[in-house]
Structures are given as structure tokens and as C-alpha cells.
Amino acid sequence: MYADPHIISSLSVAAAAAVLFLLGSKAWVLADTWLRAQTPFASMIKREAVGHYSKTLKNMEASMNTHAAAFAVAALVFLSIFFFASEPWYSPLDNMSWWAVFVFLSVLLVVEIVSLVRLQHSRFLLAKQFDARVTAAQGLQVVATKGNHIFHSIPIGDELIDHVVVGSDGIYAVHVLVRNPKKHGTVNLRDNKLLFGQNAPAYSLDNWNKTLKAFTTILNGVLGHPVRVMSVIAVPGWLTGDYGSDRHLIANQDNLITLTGWKHADAYLMNDDVEKVKHYLDMQ
């Protein structure tokens, strides 16, 4: 079978133009990110609610738009060369070589399409995480009006604590769990595991307990004395069959505003302690 060298060479130049466009776009984004980080106010910006997820979503959307633009560049270059270039402008190759180039370009196209599909899928999953955490953050806005201080996306090792509430009643670490809500779906806590409905697999809180323990250890050092960090599991979109246990409070987006009503005698903070914890979290 004869391979048309004019078509394949036009595709080759179009692919090269698209790759150059992608590389130039990536370099531009990196330069812009570096320049923005050099502003005198960059270090003064506090973490916003779900800021990490918002930034990642924006990066994903920008990447998808860039790849879509690269496809448009490739199409424009291909059509321009195919219809307007004078022949023969390409290097002479044997038929087998032209077919090898065509196969390479086909594989490159398939890899690009698969990457875009995966990126779109990841973006969908992240958007779900983002929406759930925004829902929880909106519930915490009422808590902030009662003299409490709200911090977001606090890094503890390789993990993140979604929200931290600090006030005279104590310190509340809020962990948001995202599960597709079901009509009248109820979540219960049993033996350190969350049960979402009757048939769904149980979700273990072991990893969260480790993160909570590490956070507590850090705060003990900040304050110079033991402190209790109260654990709040936020489950947006679900009904709470019970309110948890002595270790964990289970709340949805509606009753999350009542979390400061959950008190322990050893959790209260003096004003000086509140200021120390605030200063530490401000630095994160």
C-alpha cells in the first residue's frame, strides 16, 4: 500500500508545531508562576478554604485548554501546508519509512487522547472533592462569627487537615470525607470505622487518627503543655445516624455549625494559648 508522503510530511510538521506550542506554553506558565511568587505580598496571603483544590483545578483546566489549543495549531498548520505548500518540499523517503512515520504519529495521537481523557476524569473527581469541601467551609463560616478562628489546608507531614477551628472552647480538626450522597443515606460510626449506608464498604479512620496524633504532638510542643484536639468528621450530603463517639464527632453540612457545642473539660484554651496556636497556624 502506498503512503502519501505529502499527507504524512504535513502531519509531521503539524505535530512538531503542536509540540513546540505545548513546550512554549509550559515555559510561559512556569515563568509566570515564578514571577508571581516574587511579589512582596506573596508570603502574606493566608490559605483560603479549599485553596489547594481550587489551584489544582485551575491548573488542570489550563492544561486542558492548552492541549485543545495545541490541537487547533496542529490542524491549522496541517491544512496550511497540505493545501498551499508547493511540492515536493519534503525529503525523499522510501514507502516503508513513510509508513513508520505515520505509525509514530498515530501512536503520538493516541497517547495524547488517552492523556486528555485521564485528565478530564481526574478533573471530575477533584471537582467533586472541591465541591464537598466548599460545602463544609460554608458551614464553618457561622462558627467563625462566634469568636472562633478558621484555618484551612494545614499540612501535617504528607497529609492535609481540611479545616482547623481555634477558640476558647478548644481546637477542632475537621476532616472532610467525600462520598456520593444517597437519598436518605445515613452514616454511622462503629469501631473506628464509618459505615455509609448498609452495603457500602466501611471506611477506616486509622490514617486520620495518625494525622490527628501528629497534629496534637506538634501543638503540645507549641503550647508547652498537653492539649486535646477534637476530631470532627464532616460528611456532606449524608444524614448522621449518630453523633460519633468520645473521640470523633460526625457532622454533615447542616449541623457542622454546632461543632463548638461539643466540649471537653481538658480542651478549653486560655487566651494566650489561642494566640500561640493562631500564630503557628498562620505560619503554615
| DSSP track, 147-170 | T-EEEEEEEETTEEEEEEEEETTE
Question: Could you check whether the bond before residue 88 is cis, i.e. omega within 30 degrees of 0?
Answer: yes
Highest mean pLDDT among 46-50, 158-162, 194-198: 158-162
- Please provide the size of the chain in residues: 284
pTM: 0.71
Taking phi over 0 as left and psi of -120 to 50 as alpha, with beta for the rest, 176 belongs to: beta
pLDDT tens readout for residues 115-132? 889 989 988 888 888 888
Of residues 266 and 278, more confidence is placed in 278
Closest CA to 238 of 192, 177, 190, 191: 177
Q: Do the strands 186-190 and 159-167 form a parallel or antiparallel pair, or are they unpaired?
A: unpaired
User: Which residue has 463544609 as its cell numbers?
Assistant: 136
Measured distance between the N- and C-terminal CA atoms of the chain, rounded to whole angstroms: 64
Percent of the chain with pLDDT over 70: 90
Torsional sign, CA 129, 219, 158, 154: positive
Edge-to-edge strand ranges of the sheet holding 159-167 = 149-156, 159-167, 170-176, 229-234, 248-251
Highest mean pLDDT among 11-20, 23-32, 272-281: 272-281
Helix axes 51-84, 5-37, angle to 10 degrees: 150
pLDDT tens readout for residues 83-93? 887 666 666 77
pLDDT at 136 over 80: yes
Element (H, E) at 195: strand 193-196
Average pLDDT for 54-83: 87
Could you give the angle at the alpha carbon of 157 between the alpha carbons of 208 and 268, nearest 5°?
Answer: 60
Burial class (CB within 10 angstroms; exposed 0-12, middle 13-18, buried 19+) of 206: exposed
50, 161 Cβ separation under 8 angstroms: no
d(CA 51, CA 57): 10
User: Which residue has 473527581 as its cell numbers?
Assistant: 125
Lowest mean pLDDT among 38-42, 219-223, 254-258: 38-42
Categorize the per-residue pLDDT at 147 as very low, low, confident or very high, splitting at 50, 70 and 90.
confident
pLDDT tens readout for residues 75-112? 998 888 888 876 666 667 777 877 887 888 888 888 88
Instruction: Determine the distance from the C-alpha atom of residue 182 to the mean position of all C-alpha atoms in its chain, rounded to a whole number.
Output: 23
d(CA 8, CA 97): 11
Highest mean pLDDT among 6-20, 114-128, 207-221: 207-221
Burial class (CB within 10 angstroms; exposed 0-12, middle 13-18, buried 19+) of 53: buried
